[in-house]
Amino acid sequence: MNLLLNSSLALILLVSAQPASVAAPRSPGDPAANIELIGEGTVSSDQDEFGAMPDKNWTTLYFNRSIPAHYHYVLYVSRFRNGTWSMPETLPFSGQYRDSDPVLSADGRTLYFVSDRPAEGLEPNRFHAWSADRTETGWTNLRPLRGPVNEKGNTEFVSFAANGNLYFTSDRSGSSFDVYRCRLVNGQYQAAENLGPDVNDGRYTIEAFVAPDESFLLLGSFARDSLGNADLYVAYNVNGVWSKPVNFGPSINSKARDYSPRISPDGRYLVFSSERGFPTEIHDQPVSYQEFTRRMHGALNGLGNIYRVLLAEALGAADQQRRKSASAKPH
């Protein structure tokens, strides 16, 4: 695991000034973790935000807002100006259909997402993978991805390795949402491969974000060892074989839903979504009506918000959890 962790840390690059964030609240007794809430009041608000993807310089942030629970998803963009994140704007091609989970290409020119919008050749009333290209004057070439990724069932999330291999989550098996891979060979995507019983061990995985070198895979899963709701996990690629997912543990995950992970394009951060806040805090005395009303109109009201933590710190927390689990097993 040390070699794998070193490989992961090699992704981390030095960058210039980063946008300011505020520290995320933690319940008393929670292990310390330098988790930051991004853009409180603008990006992270009293609405339901999730699925954030920054550009390489942290000057632009794409993300989702939803109408709970899952009635509508809209893609937004916010820009970092004068030390703060701007009020979000709806992307010009979003708002009519349910558009979800933006992922930015390595060159920053293409935005991938999933949508239930109709198109010729796609099964109706399903989520499929789409993309749009960013130009100096706006967005163009809105299109569904062709090939195995959209051939059956719902596709809920897509990400790409540096070599072009495509990873995605789908319910095409008919039983759950699993993680699949389509290898890129001579410019053509090959048939989808299920990543196997270690990664897809009965868990319900909505998001799967692959590291550029395919050394590890970030997962957002509902699983038996989740701390309360969905949690963030990491699975490692060991000589071409994927390991069982490892829970990041209580220094990263909370009792609320933690989900939608991404590696920031600069390689430094794990960016994720969480519903932590007032509903899952420990209350040592009755809450007044006034306090309840105030908190429910704040960013930490139990709907989704956008967070980041240093990737090295997150991977270190996962490695601690792996070691703890290994030492607890009988020898």
pLDDT in tens, 146-179: 999 999 999 999 999 999 999 999 999 887 899 9
Q: How confident is the model at residue 33 (pLDDT cuts 50, 70, 90)?
A: low
100: amino acid identity, one letter: S
CATH classification of the domain holding 306: 2.120.10.30
Q: How confident is the model at residue 185 (pLDDT cuts 50, 70, 90)?
A: very high
Tokens standing for 6?
Answer: 């070193």
Contact predicate 182/147, CB 8 Å: yes
pLDDT higher than 90, residue 17: no
How wide is the angle at C-alpha 183 spanned by C-alphas 202 and 242, nearest 5°? 40
Helical H segments across the chain, by residue range? 2-9, 289-296, 311-328
Q: How confident is the model at residue 12 (pLDDT cuts 50, 70, 90)?
A: very low
pLDDT higher than 70, residue 11: no
| Nearest alpha carbon to residue 269 among 6, 11, 5, 40 | 11
Average pLDDT over residues 113-124: 96
**Spatial separation of the C-alpha atoms in residues 176 and 193, rounded to whole Å:** 15
More confident residue, 283 or 64: 64
Average pLDDT over residues 223-241: 94
**Spatial separation of the C-alpha atoms in residues 129 and 269, rounded to whole Å:** 25
**Spatial separation of the C-alpha atoms in residues 24 and 66, rounded to whole Å:** 21
Average pLDDT over residues 219-236: 95
Q: How confident is the model at residue 19 (pLDDT cuts 50, 70, 90)?
A: low
Task: Share the mean pLDDT of the chain.
Answer: 90
Task: State which residues form the domain around 70.
Answer: 2-328
Q: Report pLDDT for 315.
A: 96
Q: How confident is the model at residue 331 (pLDDT cuts 50, 70, 90)?
A: low
**Spatial separation of the C-alpha atoms in residues 64 and 159, rounded to whole Å:** 16
Average pLDDT over residues 77-92: 97
What's this model's pTM, rounded to 2 decimal places?
Answer: 0.89
What's the gap between Cα 199 and its chain centre? 17
Give the SS3 label for residue 6: helix
Contact predicate 88/76, CB 8 Å: yes
What are the backbone dihedrals phi and psi of residue 185, each rounded to the nearest 5 degrees, phi first?
-125, 120
Tokens standing for 286?
Answer: 């009755």
Q: Which residues contact 125 (CB under 8 A, 6 or more apart)?
A: 116
pLDDT higher than 80, residue 20: no
pLDDT higher than 60, residue 23: no
Q: Domains in the chain: how many in total? A: 1
pLDDT higher than 80, residue 77: yes
CA torsion through residues 107, 166, 119, 153, sign? negative
Tokens standing for 132?
Answer: 């749009």
